[in-house]
Amino acid sequence: MIIYSEPNTVSDLPIIDIGPSFSKNKTDRAEVAKNIGRACKETGFFYISNHGVDQNLIDETFAQANRFFDQPKGWKEKWKKKGGSNGYEPLETQRLDNESPRDIKESFNFTLGNIPGTSGYKSNIWPKNFPEFRGQLEAYKIAVWKAGLQVSRLISLSLGMSFKHFDSTFSQQKSPLRILRYPPQPKNTQYNQLGCGAHTDWGWITLLSQDMTGGLEVEKASGEWVRVEPVPGTFVVNLGDIMLRWTNAKYHSSLHRVMNNYSGINRHSIVLFFNHSHDTHVECLPSCLSAEEKPIFLPCTAGEHSAQRYKESR
Which residues make up the interface to ligand OGA (CB under 6 A)?
180, 196, 201, 208, 210, 216, 256, 258, 269, 271
Minimum gap (Å) between residue 268 Cβ and ligand OGA: 8
Helix (H, G, I), strand (E, B) or coil at 205: strand
Binding of Ni ion by 241 (CB under 5 A): no
Cα separation of 73 and 239, whole Å?
Answer: 33
**φ/ψ (deg, to 5) at 144:** -75, -25
Cα separation of 259 and 113, whole Å?
Answer: 34
Minimum gap (Å) between residue 286 Cβ and ligand OGA: 30
* C-beta of residue 282 within 8 angstroms of C-beta of residue 240: no
Smallest CA-to-CA distance from 209 within 290, 138, 132, 144 is with 144
Q: With CB under 5 A as the contact rule, which of the stretches 48-56, 63-71, 199-207, 302-310 interacts with Ni ion?
A: 199-207
Q: Which residue among 201, 217, 219, 241 contacts Ni ion (CB under 5 A)?
A: 201
Minimum gap (Å) between residue 100 Cβ and ligand OGA: 14
Interacting partner of 210 out of Ni ion, ligand OGA, none (Cβ under 5 to 8 A depending on kind) = ligand OGA
E strands present in 90-176: 106-110
Minimum gap (Å) between residue 234 Cβ and Ni ion: 17
* C-beta of residue 109 within 8 angstroms of C-beta of residue 14: no
Give the residues across from 269 on adjacent strands: 180, 210
Q: Considering the complex, state which of residue 58 and residue 208 has its C-beta at the smaller distance from ligand OGA.
A: 208
Residue number closest to Ni ion, CB atom: 201
Give the residues across from 273 on adjacent strands: 206
**φ/ψ (deg, to 5) at 128:** -85, 150
Smallest CA-to-CA distance from 111 within 283, 241, 306 is with 306
Give the residues across from 72 on adjacent strands: none
**CA atoms lying within 13 Å on the CB side of residue 299:** 7
Q: Considering the complex, state which of residue 159 and residue 255 has its C-beta at the smaller distance from ligand OGA.
A: 255
Sign, CA dihedral 292-297-301-305, equals negative
Q: Considering the complex, state which of residue 234 and residue 248 has its C-beta at the smaller distance from ligand OGA.
A: 234
Interacting partner of 122 out of ligand OGA, Ni ion, none (Cβ under 5 to 8 A depending on kind) = none
Q: Considering the complex, state which of residue 29 and residue 178 has its C-beta at the smaller distance from ligand OGA.
A: 178
Cα separation of 12 and 8, whole Å?
Answer: 13
Helix (H, G, I), strand (E, B) or coil at 39: helix
Minimum gap (Å) between residue 41 Cβ and Ni ion: 20
Interacting partner of 196 out of Ni ion, ligand OGA, none (Cβ under 5 to 8 A depending on kind) = ligand OGA
Helix (H, G, I), strand (E, B) or coil at 179: strand
Q: Considering the complex, state which of residue 244 and residue 271 has its C-beta at the smaller distance from ligand OGA.
A: 271
Minimum gap (Å) between residue 264 Cβ and ligand OGA: 18
Minimum gap (Å) between residue 218 Cβ and ligand OGA: 9
Q: Considering the complex, state which of residue 89 and residue 201 has its C-beta at the smaller distance from Ni ion.
A: 201
Minimum gap (Å) between residue 271 Cβ and ligand OGA: 5
Residue number closest to ligand OGA, CB atom: 269
Cα separation of 109 and 297, whole Å?
Answer: 30
Interacting partner of 244 out of ligand OGA, Ni ion, none (Cβ under 5 to 8 A depending on kind) = none
Residue ranges that bind Ni ion, judged by CB under 5 A: 201
